Amino acid sequence: MEGGFTHFDNKGNAVMVDVSEKNITGRTAAAGGKIFVCSEVIKAVKEGSAAKGDVLGVARVAGIMGVKQTASLIPMCHSLIIDKCSLDFSVNEAENYIYAECTVKCSGKTGVEMEALTGVSVALLTVYDMCKAISKKMRLGDILLISKSGGKSGDFNFDD
């Protein structure tokens, strides 16, 4: 089903894509996103003074755990063996947001885009959870696939 909906059979039933004939190749994906917060949250994150502890450290671990659980959360995702996962954060005090970027690598028959997107989303949700006692006025946004490489469809860069 080149270019069509690949998660449905000819009767319209939802199916997992058959990747059995695909070659194992190196796959990489990076996703990013932001959580917009108030200055008190920025201060607590930077100073490490949030009541629940090290916000970005816990969010990093949560994001990695989210990557590993993607197939359990997204119905048609294949279970993958993840070779590497990293989560990096930056704090933008001028615009009151925390940026998270998740990079995932594997050698497999299908890509890791959903894993990277899940990882960044779970990391940002964890920031919300850990900081909601300071302020519930937070907004997640700008979550996107930055890039991917490997596989039949080739490379993708959001900015291209």
CA angle centred on 134, ends 132 and 140, rounded to 5°: 45
Residue 129 annotated among the catalytic residues of the structure: yes
Of 9, 18, 88, 129, which one is the catalytic site residue?
A: 129
Catalytically active residues are: 129
